[in-house]
Chains A and B, each alone.
Chain A
Amino acid sequence: MSEIAQPPVKQPAKEKVSLSSILIWVIVIGLLTVVGLGLLDSRVTRPEAGAEAPVFEMQFFDGYEWQGRPAVSLEDMQGQIVVLNFWASWCVECRVEADVFEQTWRKYADQGVVFLGIAYADVEPNSIAYMEEFNLTYPHAPDLGTDISEIYEITGVPETFIIDKSGEIAHVQIGPINEAQLDSILSQLVAEGG
């Protein structure tokens, strides 16, 4: 007895990849990419003491240049102790420390210390008026595009970063700094040669 021929087994039809499936995956992958990039970006932390001070460019206010130069980079100041202070004319607490900075600047000017004032989110005429009000003589620059404050991720004003001669952040001060504290830090850095 011959075997009964079995009907040919139908192969299951290959499932076609639909355009909608492709679209969904493209969008999902795109969103995951964006989220991933955002998470990577959030890992960048604000500069703290012990870290290398981020470099930036600045254009000084007229009459407030450093060594007669209208624009410099922080790198140009390497080898000097830099007191980087973020302020604004509308900032009440900044007025508390304005005199402190000017007096301390005059004391340490010939000891390799540079004071840099960065006017944050301020209107130029008001910034000029503020500097004139407190007879500030050290270099000041506007924070154009808020680039510098973004690099240093300041949380507000006033904030001060003291950078040693090797370009490393020696101290971070959130809020106003008093004369005794500033003098103590600078005298130590000057004595250490860094």
Chain B
Amino acid sequence: MNRSVKTDYLIPLLVLFFFMAALPLAAQTVVTDDQVNEVAKDLYCPVCENTPLDVCATQACADWRELIREKLGQGQTEAEIHNYFVTQYGESVLATPQPRGFNLLAWVFPIFAVLLGGTIFVRYIHGIRIAALEEELAAEGGAIASEPNDYISRVEAELRER
């Protein structure tokens, strides 16, 4: 192969090789808005009450989303970014409270509320059934009580004769 052919093929191949090698690296640092919002949706706006970070329009939220983008570009995971925000801005930034300390109540309370409601409901139904049964028994007992009790009368009569 003469020198001109090497130049014609080798240089373009080298350029293509380095480009392909750099492509994955470039792809890693490009963070999409969807990736940012995936992390941001679990965080609350620092100034607006109960507004998720992915939909908040304030400058503070925009700054925080850019911070998330930067950290995602550095290869940090969602958990690492959330931990960073908690350290910097407190646990109130999390949309879902962490299940520890006083916040554990937020996780446990719904379970207890369901148990309490279910227990009260079961007792209520049980009470209705018992009341119906008692009414039925009372009706049968009244019918029995209305029959003449000859046995007792006879016993009393025989005792009087003695």
Q: Which of A's residues lie within 8 Å of B, judged by CB?
A: 1-2, 4, 20, 23-24, 27-28, 30-31, 34, 88-90, 120-123, 126, 142, 144-147, 150, 156
Q: A136 CA to B58 CA in the complex, in Å?
A: 25
In the complex, chain A residues whose CB is within 8 Å of the CB of B122:
20
A121 close to B119 (CB less than 8 A): no
CB-CB under 8 A for A24 and B90, given A89-B63, A90-B60, A156-B47: no
B156 close to A145 (CB less than 8 A): no
Q: A27 CA to B115 CA in the complex, in Å?
A: 9
A23 close to B115 (CB less than 8 A): yes
CB-CB under 8 A for A20 and B119, given A90-B58, A123-B63, A146-B92: yes
B123 close to A1 (CB less than 8 A): no
Q: Which of B's residues lie within 8 Å of A, judged by CB?
A: 46-47, 58-60, 63-64, 66-67, 86-90, 92, 105, 109, 112-113, 115-116, 119-120, 122-123, 156, 159-160, 162
- Of B47, B64, B92, the residue contacting A123 (CB under 8 A) is B64
A145 close to B112 (CB less than 8 A): no
Q: A24 CA to B109 CA in the complex, in Å?
A: 13
Q: A94 CA to B20 CA in the complex, in Å?
A: 48
B90 close to A147 (CB less than 8 A): yes
- Of B59, B116, B160, the residue contacting A24 (CB under 8 A) is B116
Looking across the interface, which residue of chain A has its beta carbon closest to that of B46?
A121
CB-CB under 8 A for A122 and B63, given A4-B159, A144-B88, A145-B88: yes
- A-B contacts at CB below 8 angstroms, number: 57
Q: A126 CA to B60 CA in the complex, in Å?
A: 10
A1 close to B88 (CB less than 8 A): no
Q: A41 CA to B47 CA in the complex, in Å?
A: 22
B47 vs chain A, min Cβ distance (A): 7
Judged by DSSP, the binding face of B is: helix
B128 vs chain A, min Cβ distance (A): 15
6 residue pairs from A and B, CB less than 8 Å apart:
A20-B119, A24-B116, A27-B112, A30-B112, A90-B60, A150-B90
- Of A2, A24, A121, A156, the residue contacting B89 (CB under 8 A) is A121
CB-CB under 8 A for A1 and B112, given A88-B60, A146-B90: no
Q: A142 CA to B88 CA in the complex, in Å?
A: 8
B116 close to A27 (CB less than 8 A): yes
B3 vs chain A, min Cβ distance (A): 52
In the complex, chain A residues whose CB is within 8 Å of the CB of B66:
123
CB-CB under 8 A for A121 and B115, given A1-B159, A146-B92: no
Q: A15 CA to B46 CA in the complex, in Å?
A: 55
User: Top 3 A-B pairs ranked by shortest CB distance?
Assistant: A121-B46, A90-B59, A146-B90
In the complex, chain B residues whose CB is within 8 Å of the CB of A34:
105, 109
Q: A20 CA to B67 CA in the complex, in Å?
A: 51
In the complex, chain A residues whose CB is within 8 Å of the CB of B63:
89-90, 122-123, 126
Q: A89 CA to B66 CA in the complex, in Å?
A: 14
In the complex, chain A residues whose CB is within 8 Å of the CB of B67:
123
Q: A156 CA to B49 CA in the complex, in Å?
A: 12
